[in-house]
């Protein structure tokens, strides 16, 4: 978000994700992860591919 000069509330406004949901998902991704629809909306708001938002674990490690 910082590289795009958007703050959390602006991203919430652009995506339609309530700020309480956004905060919960950021704070506790293991219990309440973003779903693919939300990730798509965030990626579009930031103008980046969805793959920029998703960390892929290396299965060899």
Torsions phi, psi for 25 (to 5 deg)? -65, -35
Domain 2-52, what fold? Answer: 434 Repressor (Amino-terminal Domain) (1.10.260)
* pLDDT value of position 2: 47
Report the distance separating Cα 22 and Cα 1, nearest Å. 13
Q: What is the pLDDT of residues 14-46, one digit of tens each?
A: 999 999 999 999 999 899 999 999 999 999 999
Q: What is the pTM of this model?
A: 0.80
* Rounded CA separation 6/16 (Å): 15
**pLDDT greater than 60 at residue 3:** no
């Amino acid at each position: 978000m910082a590289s795009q000069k958007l703050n959390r509330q602006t991203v919430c406004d652009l995506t339609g994700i309530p700020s309480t949901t956004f905060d919960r998902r950021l704070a506790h991704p293991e219990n309440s992860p973003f779903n693919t629809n939300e990730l798509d909306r965030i990626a579009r708001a930031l103008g980046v591919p969805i793959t920029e938002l998703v960390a892929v674990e290396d299965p060899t490690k």
